[in-house]
């Protein structure tokens, strides 16, 4: 058991995961991750090549080259740094490179802000990266280890983002139960590149001049094949569902820790008539509210925490919400011009063709790091109960904790 903040927990997991190449550029509140990794490399605890790039765009570009050559790679960033990587993120996924990247969620400029919201990673939700949101430092540690196994699976071959809330998780120290180095190493092993058949010969899918058949990465891909390659990415994302669940369950066996079924985690849903749906650290506050309500004799509120946002758990959600009268969906990112936040719209879409049709209210909160208190959550609960009683949602978007 170690006292680690979220950033340190991520770095510790990377140190144990047989990573070959790290390229990064510091940005608050992610900086601690790459600082710790540079220390591990400098003092010999981690035998990896560490490149300090001149920008986040350069860092992810270095990672592209290293991953294409067959290396296990890692990087991390936040907010504006992730936005600077934007064009390369699509290249990483289209080249089927199993890069792992930690995103310490931070509000995008402007105005400039260094505190948490999910606008940065939500902006990349359609870049064909697997996206997993963590509730605390322990889960961040566990998820980074799982991410290497998920992305490198030959059925998947997609990059993975692991999200943790800036400052709320990244800079908050908690007890983190770490595994022995050998146990993690045996779990993640070393990256084994997939093989493809070219002109009747099987060769590793790597950028290597010694391959019997040379391969080209990143060619011009016009209307004649582009569509087929995008379809392959969609297929890989669907296949990742089975892999995510399997890796999650295998990790639970060696660690004793699990997070729902790997996609969603529920809390007090057996007796719930109302449910909150949220991502990341806010789930802890919701659980505290639920416990407080139960202590007063009210056991009607439950929680569904979405852990894996991409691929979205559209099959798991309706099952979790059976029998629920009203749902409050909490979004920590904006919805400029839309009917609601990203999570709200995904939840509504997932329920549309199902037999589960509770009232759904959408609430936007916490932008730029503003607190979500138990009192605010209680007001949302009261609002949700009133909505169900009246039979009419007030409007598609409610803003919580803002000066109107």
CATH architecture under which domain 2-188 falls: 3-Layer(aba) Sandwich (3.40)
Tokens of 88: 């390369």
Q: What is the pLDDT of residues 225-265, one digit of tens each?
A: 999 999 999 999 999 999 999 999 999 999 999 999 999 99
pTM above 0.85, yes or no: yes
What is the structure's pLDDT at 311? 98
- Bridge partners, residue 204, by sequence: 195
What is the structure's pLDDT at 224? 95
What is the structure's pLDDT at 257? 98
Which residue from 341, 325, 343, 340 is spatially nearest to 275, judged by alpha carbons?
A: 325
Hey, where are the domains in the chain? 2-188, 264-400
- Beta strands 397-400 and 359-365: pairing type? parallel
CATH class of 264-400: alpha beta
Phi (first) and psi of residue 69, to 5 degrees:
-80, -5
- Give the number of other CB atoms < 10 A from CB of residue 137: 28
Report how far apart, in Å, the C-alpha atoms of 18 and of each of 14, 257, 288 are.
Answer: 8, 22, 37
List % helix, strand, coil for the chain (3-state, nearest 5). 40, 20, 40
What is the structure's pLDDT at 397? 85
Chain centre distance of CA 70: 24
Mean pLDDT in runs of 10 for the chain (404 residues)? 98 98 98 98 98 98 98 98 98 98 97 98 98 98 99 98 98 98 98 94 92 88 96 98 98 98 98 98 98 98 98 98 97 94 97 96 97 97 96 84 93
Q: What is the largest CA-CA distance in the chain?
A: 70
Q: Is 305 helix (H, G, I), strand (E, B) or coil?
A: strand
| Cα 132 to Cα 65: distance, rounded to the nearest angstrom | 24
């Amino acid at each position: 058991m170690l006292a680690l903040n979220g950033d340190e927990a991520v770095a510790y997991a990377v140190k144990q995961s047989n990573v070959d190449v790290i390229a990064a550029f510091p940005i608050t509140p992610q900086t601690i991750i790459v600082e710790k990794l540079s220390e591990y490399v400098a003092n010999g605890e981690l035998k990896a090549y560490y490149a300090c790039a001149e920008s986040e765009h350069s860092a992810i570009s270095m990672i592209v080259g290293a991953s294409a050559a067959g290396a296990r790679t890692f990087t991390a960033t936040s907010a504006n740094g992730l936005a600077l990587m934007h064009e390369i993120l699509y290249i990483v996924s289209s080249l089927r490179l199993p890069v792992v990247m930690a995103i310490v969620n931070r509000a995008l400029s402007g105005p400039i802000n260094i505190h948490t919201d999910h606008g940065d990673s939500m902006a990349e939700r359609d870049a064909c990266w697997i996206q997993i949101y963590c509730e605390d430092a322990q889960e961040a540690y566990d998820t980074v280890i799982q991410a290497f196994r998920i992305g490198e699976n030959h059925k998947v071959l997609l990059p993975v983002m692991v999200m943790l809330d800036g400052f709320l998780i990244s800079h908050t120290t908690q007890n983190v139960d770490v595994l022995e180095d050998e146990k993690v190493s045996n779990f993640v092993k070393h990256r084994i590149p997939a093989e493809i058949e070219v002109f009747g010969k099987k060769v590793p899918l790597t950028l290597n001049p010694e391959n019997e058949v040379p391969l080209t990465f990143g060619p011009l891909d016009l209307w004649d094949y582009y569509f087929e390659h995008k379809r392959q990415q969609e297929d890989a994302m669907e296949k990742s569902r089975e892999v995510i669940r399997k890796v999650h369950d295998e990790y639970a066996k060696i660690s004793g820790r699990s997070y729902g079924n790997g996609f969603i985690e529920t809390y007090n849903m057996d007796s719930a008539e109302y449910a909150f749906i949220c991502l990341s650290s806010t789930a802890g506050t919701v659980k505290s509210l639920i416990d407080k309500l139960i202590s007063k004799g009210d056991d009607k509120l439950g929680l569904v925490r979405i852990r894996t946002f991409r691929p979205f758990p559209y099959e798991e959600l309706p099952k979790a919400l059976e029998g629920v009268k009203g749902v409050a969906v909490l979004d920590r990112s904006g919805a400029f011009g839309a009917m609601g936040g990203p999570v709200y719209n995904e939840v509504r879409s997932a329920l549309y063709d199902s037999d589960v049709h509770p009232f759904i209210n959408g609430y936007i909160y916490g932008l730029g790091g503003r607190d979500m208190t138990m009192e605010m959550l209680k007001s949302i609960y009261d609002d949700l109960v009133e909505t169900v009683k009246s039979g009419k949602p007030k409007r598609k978007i409610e803003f919580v904790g803002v000066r109107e």
